[in-house]
Amino acid sequence: MAGTDRQRELMTGGPAVVLVEPQLGENIGMVARAMANFGLSELRLVNPRDGWPSETARAAASKADHVIDGASVYGTLEEAIADLNFVFATTARERDGFKPVRGPVDAAADLRRRIDAGEKCGVLFGRERWGLSNEEVGLADEIVTYPVNPAFASLNIAQAVLLMSYEWMKTSPEGGSQTPFTQTEMQPATKADLQGLFDHLEEALEARGYFRPPDKKPKMVDNLRAVLSRQGFFKPEIRLLRGVIRSLDHFSRQAPKGSGPAGRDNEPAGPGELEQ
């Protein structure tokens, strides 16, 4: 997906991503790209098989140079996590029951809380072929397991990092919105906003003869209200929906559909005419 804006400041920080004995430079580069996509920047490599630095990794990183340039290399996992206060280990396999196991959503929220409190945290990712050993998992505080198909649980290392990075991004003020509006615009809609939307939609539907037969209208209105009130709307979303209704609303209660000369509004559009 395109969308890189070089004019905006890069988001950095977050937990360290620790790759244990990564094999291919391409995979390290794709990990760096996934990290940069979601605001992570600290990459730690434990004994990379093909050495470091790696031009193949840089090429695969697709301009995530700040992650590649800042990557640090360690001879052992113990050295890589020595300065960290809290560490998650990611694994798809069932392990012993002595460590708490979280999903990525809970893990990301816990990481955010800890980092905001001043702790240094990291997430361990194992080898491409067989992940982390039991001894390596034993160095972590807790385990993160992804909800994957148990019959096909293997994840590419870059995919695993991307999923965790995505959940991390969602915990930030910059990443919480899934709409095209900015955070400052995202004020929750009031009941008056919702009532205005209901009234606007009801009037537009009434003008178009939607409520048929008339005795069913109360129930139809109740169903519409139930659907529209199911989600907590924001003010910009209400404005957007009312703009859509307004653009389609060529009729009003004062001039309902079918009230034109000789009932012409009830006839289908002819060649070259627009259906109203």
- Three-state SS sequence of 2-49: CCCCCCCCCCCCCCEEEEECCCCHHHHHHHHHHHHHCCCCCEEEECCC
pLDDT of residue 126: 93
Sign, CA dihedral 102-103-106-107, equals positive
Q: pLDDT > 90: what percent of the chain?
A: 45
Question: Residue 237 and residue 256: Cα distance in Å, rounded?
Answer: 27
**pLDDT averaged over the chain?**
81
Q: How many CB atoms lie within 10 A of CB 89?
A: 25
Q: Return left, alpha or beta for 66; rule: phi > 0 is left, psi -120 to 50 is alpha, else beta.
A: alpha
- pLDDT winner (highest mean) among 25-34, 140-149, 166-175, 210-219: 25-34
The pair of three-digit structure tokens given for residue 217, joined into one six-digit string: 């209208």
The pair of three-digit structure tokens given for residue 67, joined into one six-digit string: 């992650």
Instruction: Tell me the domain boundaries of the chain.
Output: 16-170, 185-266
What are the φ/ψ torsions at residue 270 (nearest 5 degrees)? Answer: -85, 180
Kindly tell me if the per-residue pLDDT of 200 is higher than 60. Answer: yes
pLDDT band at 97 (very low <50, low <70, confident <90, very high): low
Q: Which of 190, 185, 188, 204 is nearest to 242 (CA)?
A: 204
Q: Is 172 or 260 the better-scoring residue by pLDDT?
A: 172
Q: What type of residue sits at position 175?
A: G
Q: Domain 16-170 falls in which CATH fold?
A: Alpha/beta knot (3.40.1280)
90 near 167, Cβ under 8 Å? no
pLDDT of residue 162: 95
Question: Residue 220 and residue 211: Cα distance in Å, rounded?
Answer: 7
Q: Can you tell me the mean pLDDT for 25-30?
A: 96
- Under DSSP, is residue 116 helix (H, G, I), strand (E, B) or coil? helix
**Interior/surface letters 46-56, b for 16+ CB within 10 angstroms, e for the rest:** bbbeeeeebee
Q: Which residue has the tokens 């529209």?
A: 228
Beta-sheet strands, E only, within 4-160: 16-20, 43-46, 72-74, 86-90, 101-102, 121-125, 142-144
Q: Which of 70, 65, 10, 62 is nearest to 45 (CA)?
A: 70
Condensed to tens digits (0 to 9), the pLDDT of residues 158-172 reads 999 999 999 999 998
pLDDT band at 237 (very low <50, low <70, confident <90, very high): confident
Q: Which residue has the tokens 């395109």?
A: 2
pLDDT of residue 94: 62
**Which pTM does this prediction carry?**
0.62
